[in-house]
Amino acid sequence: MRVTQVRIYPVKSLGGMDVERARVEPWGLEGDRRWALVDEAGEKVTAREVHALLGLRAEQVDEETIRIHDRDGDSIPIDIPLGLPPVPVSHARQGFANPADQDVGEWISERVGRQLRLVWQEDPSVRSVSGAHGGLEGDTLSLADAGPLMMTSQASLARLQEWVDAEADQPDPEGMEADDISDSDSVGGRDPLSMLRFRPNVVIDGGEPFAEDEWETLRIGDVEFRKAELCDRCVIATIDPVTLAGGKEPIRTLSRHRRWDGKTWFGTRLVPTGAGELRVGDEAVPG
């Protein structure tokens, strides 16, 4: 098995960028999800609530600068905030984060239709991985939801696509939650599913579909990882990352084949147990 894609998301819930290589830090890939959005009260805001955030794309320019692009070709550079006092944020086990300049929040707010503020996590070593999500003592986390790194399988996506194509005319499965779909009137899924719906950091190709369910460890190149947990999927997966059109897929089909404990599952959250660098083309060896 080999790595076919490495991807970082400098701002949580915004579009990200492919990279050929990325340094693995204890809390995730370098440059991944160190920025996030909050409202005026400091409550975190993600694409679950504001789907339009997926229409913005963030890129890492250098160690101190990111740039956010909109769909019309405009962009704004953002430097690591220095000198402004931290503000309270609601990200679990985080407490505070450093705010970007006010004009950055205004630029984003104008494009998504909601008043937001961009914040930066200065020290990711202070945020632990929850034990409820497979964290052990000493595990740390960026501003990602629950795990340092998201891994998905190309073979599993291909199997999911087969299910979607074969079952497009079947009725919705029982147990599918209304909050997990973005458009109840549109089935969607007629076009091939993009892996970007699942927002992975690393994509592996080779092996059997969903074999990753059973992996307890994974070595990618020279870096060792431990499985924290499988990933439960939310409404974001039902939004086309290019057109932003909503629908029921892939939650509709996952609910038929991979639903247990009241959730649908695709992908694996990993915790680094070693240091090094991930590269496209690296061998992946499960254990």
Residue-wise pLDDT tens digits, 188-234 = 556 899 999 999 999 999 999 999 999 999 999 999 999 999 999 99
Looking only at the bridges linking them, the beta strands covering 202-205 and 149-153 are parallel
Strand partners, 3: 204
Report the pLDDT averaged over residues 68-94.
95
User: What's the pLDDT tens digit per position in 97-140?
Assistant: 999 999 999 999 999 999 999 999 999 999 999 999 999 999 99
Residue 252 CA neighbour count, 13 Å, CB half = 28
Helix (H, G, I), strand (E, B) or coil at 62: strand
pTM of the full predicted structure? 0.94
Please give the full DSSP string across 203-228, using - where no structure is assigned.
Answer: EEESS-TTGGGG-SEEEETTEEEEEE
**What is the side-by-side order of every strand in the sheet holding 57-62?**
57-62, 65-69, 75-79
Lowest mean pLDDT among 23-37, 70-84, 127-141, 164-178: 164-178
Cα gap 131→146, rounded to integer Å: 10
User: What's the pLDDT tens digit per position in 144-163?
Assistant: 999 999 999 999 999 999 99
Instruction: Report percent pLDDT > 90 for the chain.
Output: 92
Helix (H, G, I), strand (E, B) or coil at 77: strand
Report the pLDDT averaged over residues 253-258.
96
CB atoms within 10 A of CB 217: 13
Report the pLDDT averaged over residues 45-59.
97
Backbone angles phi, psi at 256, to 5 degrees: -80, -35
Instruction: Return the domain boundaries, the chain.
Output: 144-286
| Residue 208 near residue 246 (C-beta atoms within 8 A) | no
Structure-token match 């830090």, residue found = 25
pLDDT over threshold 90, residue 178: no
